[in-house]
Structure formats: structure tokens, C-alpha cells
């Protein structure tokens, strides 16, 4: 077993543990942190596969932005996990066989070798050769995305744009009781709108008569 393989198994094991942590943690903040940890481990595994761009982008986008907002929401909402867990055993009879089925399917893809040569198993695929030292994953991805996958890339961008537009349309609306600053109104305000200079005549303390001229 080479050093890379040992690393791979170590990080995979940690990844599986942290993934389990996501679903077993009692505190949703802990779940989110386990997920962050899982992202880090998968980034490292990607790094081992010489896909450094994907690895760093995973951290940058998911750990740096998505999970921050996730934590933001989780902390604000004060979710009671116990209540969510209440139905767990009730649906376990349905979930368990499905989980086993999926594990079996993955297992059959990874390990089982069928009779004819069209095996699905990993053994039927040669492991890819290591890249040259000057191979740049970033450059390779860029070249593929902007030539072969140009059209799908633009479509995916449109989908993201429409998601933004739809989200803003649905959430940004005039509600009563909102305290929103109107910059235009603030800038265009004149002194006379705010301050009224009133000339008040001074009053003689004893008599209560107003005094004209100097006081």
C-alpha cells in the first residue's frame, strides 16, 4: 500500500465518520460543523486525485460561503432536533431496506465482477495514469468548459440567474412595518423640511408681558 493509498483510506474514514456525525449530532450547529469537516476531507481526497481546482473551490464555495449562511440560518432558527427525530423509528422500516438496497447496488458496481466481460466492477476499469508534473487541473477544466461544454455552461449560468431573479421577486416586497431607508428622500431633504425657525418673543418674568426689542 503506497503512501497515497494510506492517506486516501485515512481521509475516507474520517469523511465517513464526519458524514455520520452530520446525521447523528443532536445539535444542528454541530451537524453543520460536521458537514464543514466532511467538506474539508472530501477536498483533501480531491487533492489526492490531482483535482486541486475542485478541491479549493469546494472549500471556497461550500465551506466559505454556503455553510456560513447555513450556520447563520441554523443559529437563528433554534431548531429542536428532538422534534424532528420523533418520527425516525416510525419510518425506519421503510428507510432501512432502501439504504441496504443502495449499499448493495454501490457494492455491486464497485466490487462484483459479472460473468461476461462487461463487468461493472472497478476491476474492469484501468486506473488512470498520473498526470505530468506541469499538469494544471484549473487549465484543463477551463479549456473543457469553454469549448466542449460552452452551451451547457451558459445554460447553467442562466439557471443560476433565474434562481436569483425568482428568489428576489418572491422575497423582496413591500410589507407594512418595514423600516427601509430611502436614500433619495434623505439626500433631497432641505433644511426647511426639518427645522422651522420660530421667532418667539421674550417674556417678562414678573408681568408675563412680551417684550419688544431687546430683552
Q: Are 131 and 50 in contact (CB under 8 A)?
A: yes
The C-alpha atoms of residue 92 and residue 56 are separated, in whole angstroms, by 37
Q: What is the distance in angstroms between the CA of the first residue and the CA of the last residue of the chain?
A: 101
Residue choice 2, 115, 147, 178 for contact with other proteins (CB under 8 A): 147
* Residue window 56-95: x/- pattern of binding to other proteins, with contact defined by CB under 8 A: xx-xx--xxx--xx-xx--xx-------------------
**Cβ of residue 63: shortest distance to other proteins, in angstroms?**
6
Residue 112 found at the interface with other proteins (CB under 8 A): no
Within 10 Å of residue 92's Cβ, how many Cβ atoms? 11
Q: Is 210 helix (H, G, I), strand (E, B) or coil?
A: strand
**Cβ of residue 100: shortest distance to other proteins, in angstroms?**
18
Residue choice 52, 79, 121, 141 for contact with other proteins (CB under 8 A): 52
The C-alpha atoms of residue 101 and residue 176 are separated, in whole angstroms, by 52
Residue 156 found at the interface with other proteins (CB under 8 A): yes
Q: Are 199 and 192 in contact (CB under 8 A)?
A: no
- Smaller CB distance to other proteins: residue 104 or 152? 152
| Number of helical (H) and strand (E) elements in the chain, helices listed first | 10, 0
**Cβ of residue 87: shortest distance to other proteins, in angstroms?**
18
The C-alpha atoms of residue 169 and residue 167 are separated, in whole angstroms, by 5
In the window 118-137, what residues touch other proteins (CB under 8 A)? 136
- Residue by residue, what is the 3-state secondary structure of 185-208? HHHCCCHHHHCCCCCCCCECCCCC
Q: Which stretch binds other proteins (CB under 8 A): 15-23, 124-132, 162-170, 206-214?
A: 162-170
Report the interface residues with other proteins, using CB under 8 A: 29, 33, 36, 52-53, 56-57, 59-60, 63-65, 68-69, 71-72, 75-76, 136, 138, 147-152, 154-156, 158-159, 161-163, 165-166, 168-170, 173, 181
Amino acid at each position: 500500500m503506497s503512501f497515497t493509498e494510506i492517506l486516501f483510506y485515512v481521509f475516507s474514514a474520517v469523511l465517513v465518520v464526519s458524514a455520520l456525525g452530520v446525521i447523528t449530532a443532536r445539535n444542528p450547529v454541530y451537524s453543520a460543523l460536521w458537514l464543514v469537516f466532511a467538506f474539508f476531507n472530501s477536498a483533501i481526497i480531491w487533492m489526492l486525485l490531482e483535482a486541486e481546482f475542485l478541491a479549493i473551490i469546494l472549500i471556497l464555495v461550500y465551506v466559505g460561503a454556503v455553510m456560513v449562511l447555513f450556520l447563520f440560518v441554523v443559529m437563528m432558527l433554534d431548531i429542536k432536533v428532538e422534534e424532528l427525530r420523533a418520527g425516525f423509528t416510525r419510518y425506519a422500516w421503510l428507510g432501512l431496506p432502501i439504504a441496504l438496497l443502495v449499499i448493495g447496488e454501490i457494492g455491486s458496481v464497485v466490487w462484483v465482477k459479472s460473468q461476461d466481460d462487461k463487468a461493472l466492477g472497478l476491476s474492469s476499469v484501468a486506473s488512470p495514469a498520473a498526470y505530468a508534473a506541469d499538469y494544471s487541473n484549473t487549465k484543463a477544466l477551463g479549456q473543457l468548459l469553454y469549448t466542449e461544454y460552452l452551451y451547457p455552461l451558459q445554460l447553467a449560468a442562466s439557471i443560476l440567474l433565474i434562481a436569483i431573479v425568482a428568489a428576489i421577486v418572491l422575497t423582496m416586497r413591500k410589507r407594512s412595518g418595514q423600516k427601509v431607508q430611502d436614500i433619495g428622500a434623505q439626500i433631497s431633504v432641505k433644511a426647511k423640511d426639518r427645522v422651522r425657525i420660530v421667532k418667539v418673543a421674550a417674556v417678562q418674568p414678573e408681568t408675563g408681558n412680551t417684550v419688544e426689542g431687546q430683552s
